[in-house]
Structure 1
């Protein structure tokens, strides 16, 4: 006689959940809650449709799992509430823009790397009518480059103009409210940025960046 041992791996795949928000909101929640009983040690990985790592976390009794590199587009913009014991693996994505519109997949794997459960969320970030994307190209030998930003409507109150790059921490490139306020400026741009003196009166919020270099490549938001 003999004993036949059969190992079966069960992977649960849920239908795609759709989330839609307007560009400019502070954050958006990519929901994933499950009542499935999971082992104590699991790894949670959120990826985009291209397979890039959006966020990675773990529920583990040890620190033996090496977390892979998060894709730079999402650095300093993702957060999980650590409610794994409640079956909540939802992801918070901060400052979403239309570039974040994508299909996101959350995979929960065990200590052997086997996928136990998977969930997909389709995120659609609607671009605001006030959002305009402009592509600027410059050679690295140019002394400076202008990032254009004009506002045609009359400003009735004091406003703050903030230039930022969300893939950096801190993300402030330049900021002005009546006068330049560079206290939180990223060190990469120290003494390299300027705005026109009459910017708040003219509505021309364009930013001049001196000594442009390859590391300056990115998406700047005014």
Structure 2
């Protein structure tokens, strides 16, 4: 890893080397975290052998950092090195023959920040490199999933008892997260805590005696992400810890499919992710599927990503969501896709009477060429018309019609033996509900019904009276209003 870092910095040195005073000295900027080791680059483009030459490293600009003179240097007896760098600086002896005068500073401190020079006073022309070193405070990175509890660490290496001390937690950097002062803190009446953290932050009371000022944040939210500090303002020397919290959210993505010609369209949706993810479709080998129409929308720190792609070969496919910032990855469930597999046949009733129905089955975009046939509910294969077959490239459209003469459930089956695939569609045909005209019985019933209705209307209006003489033997007599009952012989004239 050190060699890799060294090579990278050599490239920086090469690109930023001083070429003269016309444009001013080129400055290479190197940034590291406190406590890490760092290489300050200094490489001659001429690759001149330096084993018998002199180069001198200084800081700001009087402090002697490292001097090498024909094999004699500060680590093998030479005097004059500044106390700040004693025992912490080394060079690369095997690289001297390649013009490499770079040095490594181990266990960097914030005080090491500053401007360094690497000078070759005996070269003609004289050469000098300028490097700016920035040593930042060590940052502890903590990542969690949204909704979980998280501990932000802050422990003194001295394990000094903190029960009567002060420590203060802040975020970004003004929000008050948690303050403890000799037993008084935000959870027992102290005011000033930011409302974002009210009721959600606690410390570890029993651990204070061991120098542990860590806190726990419960039910984390994406909004809790940020830079935190744990400060001991009254300690000597003053101590401050830096913690970066990243709260991530990423539900499992969802993939849907649709058949289009001889390809399958994969549609991936990854919603509610934070931080912003990278989303891609992949095959079983992890190769990306080219994506189209990628849309990303953001709302309150959450990202929705939607994309789709087309696949034309048989394989398992998935949608992969990566959040490199929090080293998180989540995949959708694998979907087995065979673009050539026939989709469910479409069944249509083209015509129907009381005695028969004409059905049509359509299978489109299938590859290899399928066999299509009709079955009844008992699984019997039914005779059908000759299929209509259309070939488009490597895929086939097949239309098969059949005339059925009885009520039943009918099935259209598509079989592709080469890929061991079979699929079917079903439709129920009910013929008894269809009639060409009224039957004789229906006509007689209709006439009787109409006659009955007319009779009831005439009776209700008094046009016809129905009299029933209980004392008379024989059939009941009917009369109209114009004909009254009489004992007179109808053949005799009426009396005046």
TM-score, with structure 1 as normaliser: 0.48
Higher helix share: 2
Higher strand share: 2
TM-score, with structure 2 as normaliser: 0.23
Greater RCO (Cα-Cα under 8 Å, separation 6 or more): 1
